[in-house]
Amino acid sequence: MALAEPDMANGPEPSPMEKPQGYWAGVGERLLQDKLTMFCMAVVLLLILSAIFAPWLGLADPYKGSMIARLKPIGTPGYILGSDEQGRDMLSRLIYGGRLTLFIGLVPVVLAFFFGSFLGILAGYVGGRTNTIIMRTIDVFFAFPSVLLAIAISGALGAGIVNSLVSLTIVFIPPITRVAEAVTSGVRSLDYIDAARATGASNWTVIRMHVIGNVLSPIFVYATSLTSVCMILAAGLSFLGIGVRPPEPEWGLMLNTLRSAIYINPWLSALPGMMIFITSLCLNLLSDGLRSAMNVRD
């Protein structure tokens, strides 16, 4: 990290007893002091871990229905969170449901982070015609509200997990590219880049040594702020019936199939949405905490 090195020329001489604190150590320390962010991180981690280790948690089979135990209310013995319209255990389905929802909600942002950073850094660093071509293409995607674009692509491709991943990745590449391009052009015009080039460093070396380290933090923080939207959209696609297919447990899909039960067992049918809401709230707060801990300004 170029920014992380302590300013040895002007800064105070670090005492021999304590090592100078690096950038990431400072970020970690600030995060640890931020109780709300730590709490949200714990909640998100718990959701992810319970989703991964769901088969070992001793839960009921999330696919096994029961004709006589349909729509049991929350708190029924044997069905702590009730049962769904096919008599499947809600607690089990909610925990298993995290697998697909979190997967489809987070992976597109990770993929878009790589593609978008690549395109944005390329456009921002090279400039000129390359920049024009990339950024004008990106502009076209901004003509679609993100929900509309996701539904349009998923609707055309048809339901399915891979199709959802593809459409959501396409939705999030343009905003990340735009941010990456803006930060990179900003860094590009700074003196130390000129200095590095004057020493004869190749473009690749300049990008690797001096650009990436300084642009990745803001792009990363921006990408984390998209995770909550992506999760809501991912579950939304399944809710519309163009995401995950039944009988897979997935929060958006469960919310949709349980809609028929709102007159029989209203609060039970709202549970999957509650999970989406809690996760998305924690992801948003986590991103805000990360932003201030990493000193990123927007």
Partner 1 sequence: MLSYLIRRIILVLPVAFGVSIICFLLVQIAPGDPLTAIMPVDATAEEQAAMRAAYGLDKPLPVQYGIWIANLAQGDMGKSIATGRPVAAEVFGAVKNSLLLAVSAAVIAFPIGVFLGFLAGYFRDTWVDRAVTAASITGVSLPNYWLGIVLVIIFSVNLGWLPSMGAGPGGSQDWKWNWVHMRHLVLPAVTLSVVPIGIVARTVRALAGDILTQDFVQALYAKGMTRLDVLYHVARNAAATALSVMGLQLGYLLGGSILIETVFNWPGSGFLLSNAIFQRDLPLLQGTILVLALLFVAMNLIVDVVQAAIDPRIQRT
Binding site for partner 1 (CB under 8 A): 136-137, 139-141, 143-148, 151-153, 155-158, 228, 232, 235-236, 239-242, 255, 259, 262-263, 266-267, 269-270, 273-274, 276-277, 280-281, 283-285, 288
CA–CA–CA angle 247, 253, 257 (5° rounding)? 80
Closer of 102 and 215 to partner 1 (Cβ): 102
CB of 144 to partner 1, least distance (A): 5
Q: How far is the CB of 148 from partner 1 (least distance, A)?
A: 4
Helix axes 90-126, 266-293, angle to 10 degrees: 30
Q: Tell me how far, at minimum, the Cβ of 262 lies from partner 1, in Å.
A: 6
* Residue 277 beta carbon to partner 1: minimum distance, rounded to whole angstroms: 6
User: Residue 80 or 281: which CB sits closer to partner 1?
Assistant: 281
Q: How far is CA 143 from CA 75, 146, 147, in A?
A: 47, 9, 12
Nearest residue (CB) to partner 1, 92 versus 163: 163
CA distance 47 to 258: 22
Please report the beta strands in the chain, taking only residues with DSSP state E, as ranges in sequence order: none
User: What is the per-residue DSSP string for 223-277?
Assistant: HHHHHHHHHHHHHHHHHHTSSSPTTS--HHHHHHHGGGGTTTSHHHHHHHHHHHH
Distance CA 282, CA 108 (A): 18
- The residue among 174 and 193 lying less far from partner 1, judged by its C-beta, is 174
Least Å distance between CB 119 and partner 1?
16
CA dist 134 → 173, 226, 292 (Å): 12, 21, 30
Comparison of 60 and 232: residue with beta carbon closer to partner 1: 232
